[in-house]
């Protein structure tokens, strides 16, 4: 994965994490997916997990009470379901966290998803290569 492919890889992994978070029988769990990833993808996966954990923690302390993800999981229209399932994640509590929450978190804190340079540094620290 190079710098140009990083954004696409992050989007794909984030969509995969969101789908896996819903606990649906059609998809593997996040714990089942993580060991299947290569070293670079695993570092991205972990960075995404950390980012979304930070968003959830911030949201719990700074927003209105979170809603259940049950209504989005009950959507029957396939196209709408795809959009909702990949743009939201279900937390272990059953609450829903979505892209709007991430945007509010980024604006409030200045924090954002790790950049490619962060991945390269993590790879060097893990002894997996330089870029």
In tens, the pLDDT along 60-101 reads: 999 778 999 999 999 999 999 999 999 999 999 999 999 999
Structure tokens that stand for 31 in this block: 């714990």
**CA distances (Å), origin 9, targets 13, 14, 98, 118:** 6, 8, 19, 14
Sign of the C-alpha dihedral, residues 43, 7, 110, 91? Answer: negative
19, pLDDT greater than 90: yes
**Quick one: average pLDDT of 30-55?**
92
The residues, any chain, with a CB within 8 Å of residue 36's CB and separated by 6 or more, are none
Residue 131's pLDDT band (boundaries 50, 70, 90)? Answer: very low
The answer, yes or no, to whether residue 127 has pLDDT greater than 70, is: no
pLDDT the model gives residue 116: 56
């Amino acid at each position: 994965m190079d710098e140009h492919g990083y954004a696409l890889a992050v989007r794909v992994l984030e969509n995969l994490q969101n789908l896996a978070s819903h606990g649906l029988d059609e998809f593997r769990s996040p714990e089942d997916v993580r060991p299947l990833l290569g070293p670079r993808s695993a570092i991205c996966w972990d960075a995404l997990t950390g980012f979304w954990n930070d968003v959830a923690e911030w949201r719990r302390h700074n927003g209105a009470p979170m809603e259940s993800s049950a209504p989005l999981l009950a959507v029957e229209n396939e196209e709408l379901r795809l959009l909702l399932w990949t743009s939201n994640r279900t937390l272990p509590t059953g609450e829903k966290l979505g892209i709007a929450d991430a945007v509010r978190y980024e604006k409030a804190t200045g924090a954002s998803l790790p950049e490619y340079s962060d991945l390269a540094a993590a790879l060097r620290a893990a002894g997996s290569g330089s870029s």
